[in-house]
Structure 1
């Protein structure tokens, strides 16, 4: 396992703004959206579908990474309407070899470029905040859309451990992104 020093801890998520998105700390009200995702067939690439109790444990543990690790998920909102669009962030539950860049969007937000826009903002934030030289995606080999997105974001497939032995690992070079 590669240890990565965390220089700055954030007990809550900072707010990140992009052209269309506001990335913010998840709140209790966001759980309904996560539950809908985890109850659907779309969650198959995350090991789902999950029961309400399982979904809560995942959601709460991911949000709990903020005070414990200094990073975690951001809820994505449309800057104009305030509509919840999904989640993007950095995840490292026990057993992950390194922090992972991940995302999901609601059904209504699918295919509109929100995950890519949010992921780019998180990569710049991670490079600036932590000084990391790279971050990886761990993607189930059947999740062609996420693999394509990771590659469109400039990542390259590498032979490295993921969260599961079958994962496709896509590495993003963060050098040069820090301000």
Structure 2
């Protein structure tokens, strides 16, 4: 367990989060973009959320990967597996910086994480738990091959998307 491995795609490096990555999550949680994540929240609460997510690595053997551009090393966002207390099962989630939106980075990184989860843990599936108003994330989950599921989410009305990891090459 312990640390995230480095995962490489054509354009991206997925790596263990570092302290300086928190500034991007703090900005996200302070903005209206966090509305689908029970935000906005203050910096102290953003720290608690982010630190608990990163802390999954030594405790569970998975967690968030920081995503960066392979050519420039620019931070682009975070994609990973989240499973804090209260989640019904491990969830694939993503966040990208405003500058990285609409460029396919979240999809590219999510596919890398799904392949890694299948190879590392032998999981047959993984879910997304998405607020119904978060139409962009729902569309991305469906583009990644996910299908709507009746599995439980966190809140009444959550959209749960199921991904069959066995179907990945």
Q: Please, what TM-score do these two structures have when normalized by structure 2?
A: 0.98
Q: What pairs up with 1:41-52 in 2 under 5 angstroms?
A: 41-52=32-43
- What's the CA shift string for 1:102-144, capped at 9, x where partnerless? 0010000000000000000000000000000000000000000
Show the counterpart of 2:11: 20
Match of 1:160 among 141, 145, 151: 151
1:143-158 mapped onto 2 (5 Å cutoff): 143-158=134-149
Q: Distance in 1 between matches of 2:59 and 2:168?
A: 25
2:161 equivalent in structure 1: 170
Alignment of 1:87-166 (within 5 A): 87-166=78-157
TM-score relative to the length of structure 1: 0.93
CA–CA distance in structure 2, aligned partners of residues 93 and 145 of structure 1: 23
- Deviation of 1:165 (Å): 2.2
Residues paired across the two proteins, number = 169
Q: Deviations over 1:138-175 (max 9, x none)?
A: 00000000000000000000111012222100000001
Task: List per-residue Cα deviations over 1:42-101 (Å, max 9, x = no partner).
Answer: 010011001000000000000000000010000000000000000000000100000000
Query: How far apart in 1 are the matches of 2:156 and 2:93?
Result: 17
Q: Are 1:127 and 1:133, in contact at CA under 8 Å, matched by a contact in 2? A: yes
Q: In structure 2, what is the equivalent of residue 65 of structure 1?
A: 56
The answer on whether the counterparts of 1:128 and 1:177 sit within 8 Å (CA) in structure 2 is no
**Counterpart secondary structure, 1:166:** coil
Unmatched 5+ residue regions in structure 2? none
In structure 1, C-alpha distance between the alignment counterparts of 2:44 and 2:9, rounded to whole Å: 33
